[in-house]
Structure 1
Amino acid sequence: MADTVDTTALLAWVREFARLIEEHRDLLTELDSAIGDADHGVNLHRGMSAVVAALAEDTPDRPAELFKRTGMTLVSTVGGASGPLYGTAFLRMSAAAGDAETLDGADVAKILRAALDGVVARGKAQAGDKTMYDALAPAVAGLEEAVGNGQPLSHALGIAVRAAEQGREATIPMVARKGRASYLGERSAGHPDPGATSVTLLVVAAAAALA
């Protein structure tokens, strides 16, 4: 694993996320049909397809520009809650990347922390609300701890993936307190949260691509 990742590697991350969203589109929609509007997979697939097309048309040369274009494309093409949440996450990542041409492990942890902060600011979610926060927050914490302990980024991202997967599974018995799912009350329990599932794919994509 390289000590740093450049824009090409980060572009591969975004493309891998888009591929995983396409692969799991029907699953995400099925999960959302149980407790939401049944459009999470379709919406995210449309948005990430637009992102891939936009990045192919004009490939950014710095991480910040890559994340900015991704975020703006998601905001403009994705409906429902996922567009603003994912758009905000990527825009916060852009701001955190600054003028850097490459990112090291600490930088990757920093941009994902910024993404999480953006999700919280936009959605007001907390732990246990049965949202994407419940998978992203433990992933970020695990990544930060591993990088802080001197682990290589490849190993740290593996830890983040396991934390995200555990967080996703932990949403199954939860009663939703945010979003459309919260309208169901106790009936929202027994289903994994679609947002927690899709954001786990974002972490899985990072681990796959940034190697």
Structure 2
Amino acid sequence: MADTLGVEWATRWIEGCAAAAAEHRDELIDLDREIGDADHGENVDRGFRKVTEALGAQAPGSVDELLKLVAKTLISTVGGASGPLLGTAFLRASKAAKAAESGELGAGDAAALIEAALEGIQSRGHAEEGEKTMVDTWAPAARAAREAADGGASPAEVLRAAAEAAAQGAEATIPLKATKGRASYLGERSVGHKDPGATSSAYFLAAAAAAADAAKGGE
């Protein structure tokens, strides 16, 4: 249905995440080399490759089942902080999807999914907006998604608004001083660098929007 998002959309989304992780692997490694362990790009690329393998083997029949499988796979295969954080984000997102009527996501459900993912990240990482983490991507994305949904936008428009806000949020980490995670050890030296976790999250949210656009077009 054009007005809702189902398992086909979720599958396209995760395939898009895997493609983005592979495409931007070196970029994310370089960003993480500046303020971290230089392994973020490798970790998320490996994790989403494992996710696509798992989905190919199991083919979940609903959005919530698919996102739950994504969560479990990321937690078990992604090193560093990213695995638990992203895994918890997708786990909370799966619960939000399960609450949607008929298993199909409307505009409000799409916004709730992103809000749930943000809550999962914050509950796991105890980070707040402005601390130069992936929260600086997910928080504006959640606000934009809710505003769009409350304004009568379609699910695809909700996710596009979220993706645009996420991209802006990632860019906004450049002048910030890190106060959470490994980058916080650098203090003022973290200023002037884009956060790798915020950057990859922006790519993943862009993939969600692109998948919704494709579903809307009936492709």
Shared fold, TM over 0.5: yes
Q: How does 1:108-119 map to 2 (within 5 A)?
A: 108-119=110-121
Task: Tell me the amino acid that sits aligned with residue 8 of structure 1.
Answer: E
Deviation at 1:45, TM superposition (A): 0.5
1:1-211 alignment runs, 5 A limit:
2-98=2-98, 100-211=102-213
Deviations 1:86-105 (A, max 9, x none): 00001111111226421111
* Conserved 8 A contact 2:111-2:158: no
**Normalized against structure 1, the TM-score is what?**
0.97
Amino acid at match of 1:53: E
TM-aligned CA deviation for residue 173 of structure 1: 0.6
Contact 2:32/2:39, CA 8 A, preserved across alignment: yes
CA displacement at 1:112 relative to structure 2: 1.0
Distance 1:101 1:153 in 2: 14
| Alignment RMSD (CA, Å) | 1.1
Instruction: List 4+ stretches of structure 1 deviating above 4 A.
Output: none
- Structure 1 runs not aligned, ≥5 long: none
- Work out the CA distance in 2 between the residues paired with 1:161 and 1:69: 23
TM-score, length-scaled by structure 2: 0.94
Within 2, Cα distance between the matches of 1:41 and 1:161?
20
Distance 2:171 2:6 in 1: 32
Find the aligned partners of 1:33 and 1:112 in 2 and give their Cα distance: 28
Alpha-carbon distance, 1:64 to partner: 1.0
Contact 2:130 2:136 in 1 (8 A): yes
Distance 2:62 2:77 in 1: 23
Q: Secondary structure at the match of 1:163?
A: helix
The alpha-carbon deviation at position 154 of structure 1 amounts to 2.4
The separation in 1 between residues aligned to 2:112 and 2:163, in whole angstroms, is 16
Cα distance in 2, alignment partners of residues 64 and 158 from structure 1: 21
- 3-state DSSP of counterpart to 1:44: helix
- AA matched with 1:120: Q
Percentage of pairs with the same residue: 51
Q: Distance in 1 between matches of 2:175 and 2:184?
A: 13
For residues 5-25 of structure 1, what are the alpha-carbon distances to aligned partners after superposition, in whole Å with 9 as ceiling and x for unaligned? 110111110110110110000
